[in-house]
Structure 1
Amino acid sequence: MSEGGLNAPVRHPIDWNDPDFYDWDKLNAEVERVFDICHGCRRCFNLCDSFPRLFDLIDESASGELDSVDKADYKPVVDACTLCDMCFMVSCPYVPPHEFNIDFPHLMLRYRAAERKSGKVDRRLDQLTRTDRNGKLAEFAAPVCNWASSTANKVTRPIMEQTVGIHREAELPEFHGKTFALRAMEAPVEPNPQAPAKGRKVALYATCFVNYNNPGIGEAARAVLARNGVETEVVYPACCGMPQLEQGNIEEVAESAKKVSQELGRWIDEGYDIVALTPSCALMLKFEWPLILPDHEGVKRLSEATYDVTEYVVDIAKKEGLAEGLTPLDGGVALHMACHARAQNVGAKAAEMLRLVPEADVKVVERCSGHGGSWGVLKENFETAIKVGRPAARLAAQAGKHYVASECPLAGQHILQGIERLKMDNKPQVDRSYHPIELFAKAYGLGD
């Protein structure tokens, strides 16, 4: 029996069009095989709540082995997986090309897809993850939506908890009445003709979160790129489908991939690089879509042309050099490395970018925030999400920096909630979390 591989992880295409993918007997046999290997290893015990649930399930069974665990009890383990990919990318010694061929996140995805195929759909999450629909509706009533969703609203939040299952204390992202795509259309940004990177062209994939919930991230990215001579256009055909992937809705993700890759392909034809503004969306374009549609040339081409925004700034710095004008960020930065940024396997680009700022003072936090997308806001999960994210919150607080940042805006917001709950002296008073590109813009004197 092999004790682990030394080769780089390799992911296999997701065979979601094969009827065997949804066959419960074959699925349960594979789940049992993988769970038994995980039980014998336990290296991932502290990554998320899936593994403690699995190990407790086995330890508390009649035999203390998987053979005495009811298959019906597998579901809580599956439900706790947030598809962060950290077990696959960071911890598991048995990922392919190892003979054990373990891909825990994609096995959890397969289980959820089979549930969906069987008609078992969580209607709360199904509605919560309709980001484009929800964003377009909220665009017309953003102040009312933000008032109703505020944790300070002691009338509407308990009602939301009872009706749609969102924990009353979970911070929710605000909506804006004017999307990032619309703002970009109304206020073009001219690139600096004297900058070293002049001639580069970027199509910014706005992402649903930046487009509807935090246009400031997009505006900061445009400003930084323009300062460095890069021409930018903002493109947003549709959501990348990560929220649907979390629910096992692979078919809908495939349709999003076809639609978005077709639109972004036109920009690639015109010599534009594609830059995604949040790491989850970059991960989808680069890695998940090609595994779902391995024979789709447009998807493959897009994956090869896509950068995460921090990755792209670092690329400019290495190849042409950055435009002058960066000034220190007083007080330093506690930088959380988002799981989906780490899963891109390009290195700690956000940290690398912020260390380009003069007198850089960056403390990197490499622990899970605990949020897990739509998972962490649910009534039954929120306290667990806070618990899982407590080490990250503690490290960010102990760093004692003026700024807290994360490439994942939801993770950053969740870490601040975790800091509020910490019982420690001299906690930093941080008003908000930042995307690293916002801090880079601030170092250039651009924006707020």
Structure 2
Amino acid sequence: MREGSLEAPVRHPVDWRNPDFHDEDLLDAEMRRVFDVCHGCRRCFNLCDSFPRLFDLVDHAPSEGLDTVDSKDFARVVEACTLCDMCFLTKCPYVPPHPFNLDFPHLMLRYRAVRARKVGVPLAVDQMTRTDRNGRLAGKVASLVNWATSTSNKATRGVMETVAGIDAAARLPKFHGRTFVMRARDDPPALNPAGPAAGRKAVFYATCFVNYNNPAIGLAAQSILAHNGVETAVAYPGCCGMPQLEQGRIAQVVEKAGLVARHLGGWIDRGYDVVALVPSCALMLKAEWPHLVPADHPDRAAVERLSRATFDIAEYIVDIAQKEGLAPGLRPLPGGVTLHVACHARAQNMGRKAAEMLRLIPKDAEGGKMGPADLKVVERCSGHGGSWGIMKGNFDTALKIGKPVAAQAVKNATHFVASECPLAGDHIRQGMERLDPARAAAVEQLHPVEIFARAYGL
């Protein structure tokens, strides 16, 4: 048998309604089959903490083989997986169509689904996954919540660490009383009817993070598209379900997929493209939902249609640049940018669209574009991993995994540090603070689309 596959990866649907999917004996047999292949290969040793944990289990077993590893210890491997998909998409030579048929992330998802059905999800974690409820409630008392969750508030963060297991040193997102949906409704940007992309229509899928935690990203994106002549609207029927996916609650994710797909389907009917503002959410709409929603589900057609109509925000701006050309007005932003390419942006198989977008910014008055000296691209895991990286026991490991990214950002000494994933951006900055507090204080940490809007003077 050949070593590795030469074909492009092919992902199979997740057969989560099959009774065998939740059979613990069958799951254990599949875990051992896959882990044995991983143990013999070890190409993924530096991707995340799952693989070092697996290899340590095998190396420290009495037989130094998987046969003497206790199945209960597999939980440590599963807990470290952040469902980033990088092993499947970039490292593993044994993914389908190879006969070994490995899909490590979806195997970790299966384990979590079995565990969630058997013992449930811990209460504190379950409460964190309720992003829409949390966003609505926290927004009503945003100043109080932001004060209580600040890392400088030792008393309240100590309580959160004890009660909820959230590391007291982990920086948490801020909340806003006025969401992106509210701001876009009350103060929409002026449409440039002479913009090169006039005639395009785009509806922003606000995402829970941009809507409740960082409306500035959405406002920047909306202003860029309006300046280029794109008629925009904002819709937010609910969270994409990524927090529930991380906990193995597949049925809840499918329910959310149907709700969002039906709502956004009305916009697609009216000729709107769908633009997602956070890569994890774009990945859910484009790729994860079609693998999770069964073929006979009543919302299957709507989910497939939404998948085809969805763009990541950087992808959409680059698409305008390539097809219609961008509106004039971009100006240099001195100091350079360190850009972290988020794993869930890479998993969309669209190329480095944020880097392509930022290279459209002139580096000087003569109009030369950003080159390698001005835009430093880092394509490596930040270590954050969604809700995983903020938990007690994980936070220091998350910083360790992301240390090469933080070290590169310190070395680059650029004015801006940017990540397509806002949570990763904050995490990288925390890593920089531990390496070089003065350098970290000197950088401006923004989303790439905010930098692009600033280059337009918007």
* C-alpha contact 1:12 1:291 (8 A) present in aligned 2: yes
How far apart, CA to CA, are the structure 2 residues paired with 1:441 and 1:56? 47
Q: Does 1:439 align with 2:443?
A: no
Q: Does 1:397 align with 2:410?
A: yes
TM-score where L is the length of structure 1: 0.98
2:387 aligned counterpart, secondary structure: helix
Q: Does 1:2 align with 2:2?
A: yes
How far apart, CA to CA, are the structure 1 residues paired with 2:294 and 2:281? 18
* C-alpha contact 1:87 1:104 (8 A) present in aligned 2: yes
Structure 2 match to 1:372: 385
Tell which deviates more after alignment, 359-368 or 73-82. 359-368
Structure 2 match to 1:43: 43
What amino acid sits opposite 1:128 in the alignment?
M
Count of residues in Structure 1 that have an aligned counterpart in Structure 2: 445
Which runs of at least 4 in structure 1 moved beyond 3 Å after TM superposition? 424-432
Q: Does 1:312 align with 2:316?
A: yes
* C-alpha contact 1:109 1:245 (8 A) present in aligned 2: yes
What amino acid sits opposite 1:401 in the alignment?
T
* Offset from partner CA, 1:283-307 (integer Å, 9 cap, x none): 0000000001142000000000000
Structure 1 match to 2:118: 118
Tell which deviates more after alignment, 116-125 or 300-309. 116-125
Shift of 1:147: 0.1
Q: Does 1:229 align with 2:229?
A: yes
2:190 aligned counterpart, secondary structure: coil
How far apart, CA to CA, are the structure 1 residues paired with 2:245 and 2:399? 23
What amino acid sits opposite 1:392 in the alignment?
V
* Offset from partner CA, 1:215-259 (integer Å, 9 cap, x none): 000000000000110000000000000011000010100000000
How far apart, CA to CA, are the structure 2 residues paired with 1:141 and 1:431? 30
* C-alpha contact 1:47 1:87 (8 A) present in aligned 2: yes
Shift of 1:427: 3.2
Gaps of 5+ in 2: 364-369
Shift of 1:380: 1.4
Relative to structure 1, is the Cα distance of residues 399 and 349 closer, same or farther in structure 2, using a 3 angstrom cutoff?
same
* C-alpha contact 2:414 2:443 (8 A) present in aligned 1: no
1:427 aligned counterpart, secondary structure: helix
Tell which deviates more after alignment, 51-60 or 113-122. 113-122
What amino acid sits opposite 1:281 in the alignment?
C
* C-alpha contact 1:413 1:432 (8 A) present in aligned 2: no
1:363 aligned counterpart, secondary structure: strand
Shift of 1:352: 0.4
Q: How do 1:356-371 residues align onto structure 2 when only pairs under 5 Å count?
A: 356-359=360-363, 360=370, 361-371=374-384
Structure 1 match to 2:423: 410
* C-alpha contact 1:402 1:428 (8 A) present in aligned 2: no
* C-alpha contact 1:176 1:212 (8 A) present in aligned 2: yes
Tell which deviates more after alignment, 321-330 or 120-129. 120-129
How far apart, CA to CA, are the structure 2 residues paired with 1:431 and 1:332? 10
2:346 to 339, 342, 348: 342
2:240 aligned counterpart, secondary structure: coil
2:154 aligned counterpart, secondary structure: coil
How far apart, CA to CA, are the structure 2 residues paired with 1:433 and 1:128? 25
Shift of 1:191: 1.8
Instruction: Kindly report the root-mean-square deviation, in angstroms, between the aligned alpha carbons of the 2 structures.
Output: 1.0
* Offset from partner CA, 1:122-151 (integer Å, 9 cap, x none): 222111111001000001000000000000
2:418 aligned counterpart, secondary structure: strand
1:155 aligned counterpart, secondary structure: helix
Q: Does 1:134 align with 2:146?
A: no
Structure 1 match to 2:286: 286
Shift of 1:430: 3.7
What amino acid sits opposite 2:445 in the alignment?
S
1:353 to 345, 351, 357: 357
* C-alpha contact 2:283 2:345 (8 A) present in aligned 1: yes
Q: Does 1:169 align with 2:169?
A: yes
How far apart, CA to CA, are the structure 2 residues paired with 1:21 and 1:109? 11
